[in-house]
Protein backbone atom coordinates (compact mmCIF):
# COMPACT_ATOMS: atom_id res chain seq x y z
CA UNK A 1 0.00 0.00 0.00
CA UNK A 2 1.38 3.39 -1.02
CA UNK A 3 1.78 5.89 1.80
CA UNK A 4 1.34 9.67 1.44
CA UNK A 5 1.98 12.62 3.73
CA UNK A 6 -0.04 15.80 3.14
CA UNK A 7 0.79 19.15 4.69
CA UNK A 8 -2.11 21.57 4.67
CA UNK A 9 -4.56 18.68 5.02
CA UNK A 10 -6.91 21.00 6.93
CA UNK A 11 -7.40 23.14 3.83
CA UNK A 12 -9.54 22.82 0.75
CA UNK A 13 -6.91 21.15 -1.43
CA UNK A 14 -5.64 18.91 1.36
CA UNK A 15 -9.11 17.54 2.02
CA UNK A 16 -9.86 16.83 -1.65
CA UNK A 17 -6.41 15.28 -2.13
CA UNK A 18 -6.85 13.09 0.94
CA UNK A 19 -10.19 11.86 -0.39
CA UNK A 20 -8.66 11.12 -3.81
CA UNK A 21 -5.71 9.20 -2.37
CA UNK A 22 -7.91 7.18 -0.01
CA UNK A 23 -10.08 6.26 -2.99
CA UNK A 24 -6.94 5.01 -4.73
CA UNK A 25 -6.02 2.81 -1.78
CA UNK A 26 -3.33 4.97 -0.15
CA UNK A 27 -2.53 5.15 3.52
CA UNK A 28 -2.89 8.89 4.11
CA UNK A 29 -1.14 10.86 6.84
CA UNK A 30 -1.98 14.51 7.42
CA UNK A 31 0.38 16.96 9.09
CA UNK A 32 -1.46 18.58 11.98
CA UNK A 33 -0.17 21.79 13.51
CA UNK A 34 -2.01 21.77 16.82
CA UNK A 35 -2.29 25.55 16.79
CA UNK A 36 -4.45 25.21 13.69
CA UNK A 37 -7.33 23.73 15.68
CA UNK A 38 -9.27 20.51 15.20
CA UNK A 39 -12.49 22.08 13.96
CA UNK A 40 -11.15 22.92 10.50
CA UNK A 41 -9.70 19.42 10.19
CA UNK A 42 -12.96 17.75 11.11
CA UNK A 43 -15.17 20.04 9.04
CA UNK A 44 -13.56 19.72 5.61
CA UNK A 45 -12.67 16.05 5.90
CA UNK A 46 -16.07 15.30 7.43
CA UNK A 47 -17.83 16.88 4.46
CA UNK A 48 -15.90 14.54 2.14
CA UNK A 49 -16.60 11.51 4.31
CA UNK A 50 -13.01 10.69 5.24
CA UNK A 51 -12.54 12.10 8.74
CA UNK A 52 -11.58 8.80 10.38
CA UNK A 53 -9.46 7.49 7.52
CA UNK A 54 -6.76 10.19 7.56
CA UNK A 55 -4.04 9.55 10.15
CA UNK A 56 -3.12 12.86 11.77
CA UNK A 57 0.50 13.34 12.80
CA UNK A 58 2.05 16.21 14.76
CA UNK A 59 4.58 18.50 13.14
CA UNK A 60 5.40 22.07 12.23
CA UNK A 61 6.82 23.38 8.97
CA UNK A 62 8.97 25.93 10.76
CA UNK A 63 10.59 23.24 12.95
CA UNK A 64 13.05 21.21 10.86
CA UNK A 65 13.72 18.63 13.57
CA UNK A 66 10.02 17.80 13.89
CA UNK A 67 9.79 17.23 10.14
CA UNK A 68 12.81 14.91 10.13
CA UNK A 69 11.32 12.83 12.95
CA UNK A 70 7.97 12.80 11.16
CA UNK A 71 9.42 11.50 7.90
CA UNK A 72 11.39 8.83 9.75
CA UNK A 73 8.19 7.72 11.49
CA UNK A 74 5.72 7.82 8.59
CA UNK A 75 8.12 6.68 5.83
CA UNK A 76 5.97 8.14 3.03
CA UNK A 77 6.30 7.28 -0.65
CA UNK A 78 4.85 10.67 -1.61
CA UNK A 79 4.85 14.07 0.11
CA UNK A 80 2.41 16.78 -0.93
CA UNK A 81 3.37 20.17 0.49
CA UNK A 82 0.18 22.22 0.33
CA UNK A 83 0.58 24.21 3.54
CA UNK A 84 0.88 28.00 3.23
CA UNK A 85 -0.52 31.30 4.37
CA UNK A 86 -2.48 31.42 1.13
CA UNK A 87 -4.63 34.55 1.37
CA UNK A 88 -2.93 37.14 -0.86
CA UNK A 89 -4.46 40.23 0.73
CA UNK A 90 -3.52 39.02 4.23
CA UNK A 91 0.10 38.63 3.13
CA UNK A 92 0.33 42.42 3.01
CA UNK A 93 -0.71 42.58 6.67
CA UNK A 94 1.46 39.61 7.69
CA UNK A 95 4.44 39.53 5.32
CA UNK A 96 6.87 37.95 7.79
CA UNK A 97 4.46 35.18 8.80
CA UNK A 98 3.68 34.53 5.14
CA UNK A 99 7.39 34.26 4.34
CA UNK A 100 8.11 32.06 7.34
CA UNK A 101 5.40 29.51 6.56
CA UNK A 102 5.28 29.62 2.75
CA UNK A 103 8.98 30.06 1.95
CA UNK A 104 11.02 28.92 4.96
CA UNK A 105 8.52 26.16 5.70
CA UNK A 106 9.13 24.74 2.24
CA UNK A 107 12.90 24.97 2.74
CA UNK A 108 12.54 23.00 5.97
CA UNK A 109 10.43 20.32 4.32
CA UNK A 110 12.84 19.95 1.41
CA UNK A 111 15.80 19.69 3.74
CA UNK A 112 13.97 17.13 5.88
CA UNK A 113 13.24 15.09 2.76
CA UNK A 114 16.89 15.31 1.68
CA UNK A 115 18.07 14.08 5.08
CA UNK A 116 15.41 11.55 6.08
CA UNK A 117 13.57 10.48 2.89
CA UNK A 118 15.69 11.16 -0.21
CA UNK A 119 13.77 8.63 -2.32
CA UNK A 120 10.37 10.23 -1.75
CA UNK A 121 8.32 11.79 -4.54
CA UNK A 122 7.59 15.40 -3.64
CA UNK A 123 4.88 17.80 -4.81
CA UNK A 124 5.03 21.54 -4.16
CA UNK A 125 1.94 23.71 -4.55
CA UNK A 126 3.07 26.76 -6.51
CA UNK A 127 0.72 29.56 -7.52
CA UNK A 128 -0.26 31.57 -10.57
CA UNK A 129 0.21 34.66 -8.38
CA UNK A 130 3.94 34.23 -9.08
CA UNK A 131 3.41 35.51 -12.62
CA UNK A 132 2.08 38.86 -11.44
CA UNK A 133 1.76 41.22 -14.37
CA UNK A 134 2.89 38.70 -16.94
CA UNK A 135 3.94 39.91 -20.38
CA UNK A 136 2.24 37.04 -22.23
CA UNK A 137 -1.50 36.53 -22.87
CA UNK A 138 -1.40 33.06 -21.29
CA UNK A 139 1.18 31.84 -18.81
CA UNK A 140 3.00 28.52 -19.08
CA UNK A 141 5.97 26.88 -17.37
CA UNK A 142 8.47 29.13 -19.20
CA UNK A 143 6.77 32.46 -18.43
CA UNK A 144 8.90 34.78 -16.29
CA UNK A 145 7.76 35.52 -12.75
CA UNK A 146 6.85 39.06 -11.64
CA UNK A 147 5.43 38.58 -8.13
CA UNK A 148 3.21 41.40 -6.90
CA UNK A 149 2.65 40.47 -3.23
CA UNK A 150 4.53 38.99 -0.25
CA UNK A 151 2.60 35.76 -0.83
CA UNK A 152 3.65 35.54 -4.48
CA UNK A 153 7.27 36.36 -3.59
CA UNK A 154 7.34 33.59 -0.99
CA UNK A 155 5.88 31.16 -3.51
CA UNK A 156 8.59 32.05 -6.06
CA UNK A 157 11.26 31.24 -3.47
CA UNK A 158 9.66 27.88 -2.70
CA UNK A 159 9.20 27.06 -6.39
CA UNK A 160 12.83 27.80 -7.26
CA UNK A 161 14.10 25.87 -4.25
CA UNK A 162 12.30 22.74 -5.42
CA UNK A 163 14.02 23.12 -8.78
CA UNK A 164 17.37 23.54 -7.03
CA UNK A 165 16.91 20.41 -4.91
CA UNK A 166 15.84 18.51 -8.03
CA UNK A 167 18.99 19.57 -9.89
CA UNK A 168 21.49 19.41 -7.03
CA UNK A 169 20.29 16.34 -5.10
CA UNK A 170 18.26 14.36 -7.62
CA UNK A 171 15.03 14.92 -5.71
CA UNK A 172 11.90 13.75 -7.53
CA UNK A 173 10.27 17.12 -7.01
CA UNK A 174 7.40 18.61 -9.00
CA UNK A 175 5.99 22.12 -8.84
CA UNK A 176 2.32 22.43 -9.71
CA UNK A 177 1.65 26.05 -10.72
CA UNK A 178 -1.95 26.14 -9.62
CA UNK A 179 -4.23 28.78 -11.05
CA UNK A 180 -7.29 29.83 -9.02
CA UNK A 181 -9.33 26.85 -7.93
CA UNK A 182 -12.33 26.77 -5.65
CA UNK A 183 -15.10 24.59 -4.26
CA UNK A 184 -17.67 24.55 -1.47
CA UNK A 185 -14.74 23.84 0.87
CA UNK A 186 -12.98 27.12 0.03
CA UNK A 187 -12.58 29.60 2.89
CA UNK A 188 -14.97 32.54 3.04
CA UNK A 189 -12.07 35.01 2.71
CA UNK A 190 -11.48 33.96 -0.92
CA UNK A 191 -13.23 35.99 -3.59
CA UNK A 192 -15.39 33.38 -5.32
CA UNK A 193 -16.57 31.85 -2.05
CA UNK A 194 -17.34 35.35 -0.78
CA UNK A 195 -19.49 35.89 -3.87
CA UNK A 196 -21.40 32.60 -3.64
CA UNK A 197 -21.98 33.06 0.07
CA UNK A 198 -23.17 36.61 -0.54
CA UNK A 199 -25.58 35.52 -3.27
CA UNK A 200 -26.99 32.85 -0.96
CA UNK A 201 -27.43 35.23 1.97
CA UNK A 202 -29.06 37.95 -0.13
CA UNK A 203 -31.44 35.48 -1.78
CA UNK A 204 -32.56 34.33 1.68
CA UNK A 205 -33.08 37.88 2.91
CA UNK A 206 -30.12 37.77 5.29
CA UNK A 207 -28.32 40.67 3.59
CA UNK A 208 -28.97 43.26 0.90
CA UNK A 209 -25.49 44.22 -0.33
CA UNK A 210 -22.18 42.52 -1.05
CA UNK A 211 -19.10 44.78 -0.76
CA UNK A 212 -16.34 43.85 -3.23
CA UNK A 213 -12.99 45.15 -4.44
CA UNK A 214 -11.72 45.24 -8.03
CA UNK A 215 -14.46 43.88 -10.30
CA UNK A 216 -12.32 44.07 -13.44
CA UNK A 217 -9.58 41.64 -12.33
CA UNK A 218 -9.68 38.51 -14.49
CA UNK A 219 -8.60 35.10 -13.30
CA UNK A 220 -8.55 31.50 -14.51
CA UNK A 221 -10.87 29.53 -12.19
CA UNK A 222 -11.16 25.75 -11.88
CA UNK A 223 -12.47 23.21 -9.37
CA UNK A 224 -10.15 21.99 -6.60
CA UNK A 225 -11.39 18.43 -7.15
CA UNK A 226 -9.92 18.53 -10.67
CA UNK A 227 -6.70 20.22 -9.58
CA UNK A 228 -5.71 17.70 -6.90
CA UNK A 229 -6.00 14.99 -9.54
CA UNK A 230 -3.28 16.83 -11.47
CA UNK A 231 -1.10 16.86 -8.34
CA UNK A 232 -1.34 13.10 -8.06
CA UNK A 233 -0.67 12.56 -11.77
CA UNK A 234 2.59 14.56 -11.55
CA UNK A 235 4.03 12.13 -9.03
CA UNK A 236 3.15 9.09 -11.15
CA UNK A 237 5.45 10.09 -14.03
CA UNK A 238 8.88 8.64 -14.85
CA UNK A 239 10.53 12.05 -14.68
CA UNK A 240 9.91 14.98 -12.35
CA UNK A 241 8.92 18.30 -13.92
CA UNK A 242 6.87 21.44 -13.33
CA UNK A 243 3.33 21.87 -14.63
CA UNK A 244 0.82 24.69 -15.01
CA UNK A 245 -2.65 23.56 -13.88
CA UNK A 246 -5.37 25.77 -15.35
CA UNK A 247 -8.53 25.78 -17.46
CA UNK A 248 -7.33 28.31 -20.04
CA UNK A 249 -10.45 30.43 -19.53
CA UNK A 250 -10.31 33.82 -17.80
CA UNK A 251 -13.34 35.30 -16.05
CA UNK A 252 -13.65 38.70 -14.38
CA UNK A 253 -14.93 39.18 -10.84
CA UNK A 254 -17.88 40.86 -12.53
CA UNK A 255 -18.55 37.61 -14.45
CA UNK A 256 -18.43 35.57 -11.24
CA UNK A 257 -20.98 37.87 -9.61
CA UNK A 258 -23.27 37.66 -12.62
CA UNK A 259 -23.19 33.83 -12.73
CA UNK A 260 -23.64 33.38 -8.96
CA UNK A 261 -26.50 35.85 -8.58
CA UNK A 262 -28.24 34.56 -11.70
CA UNK A 263 -28.29 31.09 -10.11
CA UNK A 264 -30.58 32.45 -7.39
CA UNK A 265 -32.59 34.63 -9.78
CA UNK A 266 -31.07 37.98 -8.82
CA UNK A 267 -29.53 40.89 -10.73
CA UNK A 268 -26.02 41.21 -9.30
CA UNK A 269 -25.73 44.90 -10.19
CA UNK A 270 -28.47 45.72 -7.68
CA UNK A 271 -26.54 44.17 -4.80
CA UNK A 272 -22.77 44.26 -5.43
CA UNK A 273 -21.02 47.48 -4.35
CA UNK A 274 -17.36 48.37 -4.80
CA UNK A 275 -15.67 49.11 -1.45
CA UNK A 276 -12.14 50.61 -1.59
CA UNK A 277 -11.30 48.75 1.63
CA UNK A 278 -11.16 45.53 -0.37
CA UNK A 279 -8.75 46.77 -3.03
CA UNK A 280 -5.25 45.24 -2.97
CA UNK A 281 -2.18 47.53 -2.75
CA UNK A 282 -0.80 46.06 -5.99
CA UNK A 283 -3.30 43.96 -7.91
CA UNK A 284 -2.83 41.86 -11.03
CA UNK A 285 -5.07 42.64 -13.99
CA UNK A 286 -5.34 39.21 -15.59
CA UNK A 287 -3.93 35.71 -15.22
CA UNK A 288 -4.86 32.83 -17.49
CA UNK A 289 -2.99 29.56 -17.74
CA UNK A 290 -1.73 27.47 -20.62
CA UNK A 291 -1.87 23.88 -19.35
CA UNK A 292 -0.67 22.28 -22.60
CA UNK A 293 2.12 20.36 -20.83
CA UNK A 294 -0.27 18.89 -18.25
CA UNK A 295 -2.73 17.99 -20.97
CA UNK A 296 -0.21 16.29 -23.25
CA UNK A 297 2.07 14.62 -20.72
CA UNK A 298 -0.31 13.85 -17.86
CA UNK A 299 -3.50 13.42 -19.85
CA UNK A 300 -5.11 15.89 -17.45
CA UNK A 301 -8.15 17.96 -18.40
CA UNK A 302 -10.55 19.79 -16.07
CA UNK A 303 -13.92 18.07 -15.79
CA UNK A 304 -15.99 20.79 -14.08
CA UNK A 305 -16.97 24.00 -15.86
CA UNK A 306 -16.95 27.41 -14.19
CA UNK A 307 -20.74 27.58 -14.27
CA UNK A 308 -21.07 24.10 -12.75
CA UNK A 309 -18.61 24.93 -9.98
CA UNK A 310 -20.34 28.20 -9.08
CA UNK A 311 -23.74 26.46 -9.01
CA UNK A 312 -22.32 23.77 -6.70
CA UNK A 313 -20.89 26.43 -4.39
CA UNK A 314 -24.06 28.54 -4.27
CA UNK A 315 -26.16 25.46 -3.51
CA UNK A 316 -23.79 24.45 -0.71
CA UNK A 317 -24.00 27.94 0.81
CA UNK A 318 -27.80 27.92 0.53
CA UNK A 319 -27.96 24.58 2.39
CA UNK A 320 -25.66 25.88 5.10
CA UNK A 321 -27.64 29.07 5.69
CA UNK A 322 -30.99 27.27 5.60
CA UNK A 323 -29.69 24.81 8.20
CA UNK A 324 -28.54 27.73 10.34
CA UNK A 325 -31.93 29.42 10.08
CA UNK A 326 -33.73 26.18 10.95
CA UNK A 327 -31.58 25.51 14.02
Q: Identify whether 153 is a catalytic site residue.
A: no
SS3 168: helix
Measured in whole angstroms, how far is the alpha carbon of residue 28 from the centre of its chain? 19
SS3 4: strand
Q: Identify whether 151 is a catalytic site residue.
A: yes
Active-site option among 151, 165, 227, 243: 151
Active-site option among 26, 66, 126, 129: 129
Q: Identify whether 305 is a catalytic site residue.
A: no
SS3 219: strand
Cα–Cα distance measured from residue 178 to residue 80, given in angstroms and rounded to the nearest whole number = 13
> In 3D, which of 225, 308, 305 has the Cα closest to residue 260?
308
Rounded to the nearest 10°, the torsion over CA 153, 225, 268, 200 is -120
Cα–Cα distance measured from residue 6 to residue 12, given in angstroms and rounded to the nearest whole number = 12
Q: Are strands 218-220 and 250-252 parallel, antiparallel or unpaired?
A: antiparallel
Cα–Cα distance measured from residue 111 to residue 100, given in angstroms and rounded to the nearest whole number = 15
Indicate which residues carry an active-site annotation.
127, 129, 151
Amino acid sequence: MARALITGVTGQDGAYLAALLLEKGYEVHGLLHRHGGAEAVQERLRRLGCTDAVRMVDGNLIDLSSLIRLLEKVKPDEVYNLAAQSFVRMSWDQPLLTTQVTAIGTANMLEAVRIAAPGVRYFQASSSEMFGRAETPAQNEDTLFHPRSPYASAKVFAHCLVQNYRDAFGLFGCNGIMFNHDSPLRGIEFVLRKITDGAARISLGLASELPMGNLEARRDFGHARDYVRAMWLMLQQDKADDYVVATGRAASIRDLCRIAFAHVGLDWEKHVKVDPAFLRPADVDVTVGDATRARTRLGWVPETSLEEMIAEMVEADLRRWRATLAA
